[in-house]
Amino acid sequence: MILIGLTGGVGMGKSKSAELLSARGLPIIDTDHLARQVVEQGQPALEEIRQEFGDGVIGEEGQLNRQVMARIVFGDAAKRQRLEAIVHPRVRELWLAEADRWRAERQAFGVVVIPLLFETDAASSFDAVVCVACSLPSQRTRLEARGWNSDQIDQRIASQWPIQKKMDLSRFVIWTEPPVEVHREQLDRALRRLISN
The tens digit of pLDDT for each residue in 28-73 reads 999 999 999 999 999 999 999 999 999 999 998 899 999 999 999 9
CA–CA dist 9, 145 (Å, integer): 16
pLDDT per residue as tens digits for the range 6-22: 999 999 999 999 999 99
Give yes or no for residue 197 having a pLDDT over 90: no
* Contact criterion met (CB below 8 Å) for 155 and 32: no
Domain 2-196 has CATH 2.60.120.10: no
Q: What is the pLDDT of residues 72-105, one digit of tens each?
A: 998 898 999 999 999 999 999 999 999 999 999 9
- The helix-helix angle for 66-73 and 44-53 (nearest 10°) equals 50
pLDDT at residue number 75 = 84
Residue 179 pLDDT greater than 90, yes or no = yes
E strand spans, 59-145: 109-113, 128-133
Query: Which of the 8 DSSP states describes residue 166?
Result: H
**CB proximity list for 142: less than 8 A, separation 6 or greater:** 11, 12, 134
Q: Tell me the average pLDDT across 158-171.
A: 96
pLDDT over 80 at 1, yes or no = yes
In one-letter notation, the amino acid at residue 182 is V
Query: How many beta carbons lie within 10 A of that of residue 191, not counting itself?
Result: 20
Q: What are the sequence ranges of the domains in the chain?
A: 2-196
**Residues 23, 39: Cα–Cα separation, whole Å:** 29
| Beta bridge partners of residue 112, listed in sequence order | 5, 29
Q: pLDDT digits over 99-140, tens only?
A: 999 999 999 999 999 999 999 999 999 999 999 999 999 999
At position 65, the amino acid (one-letter code) is N
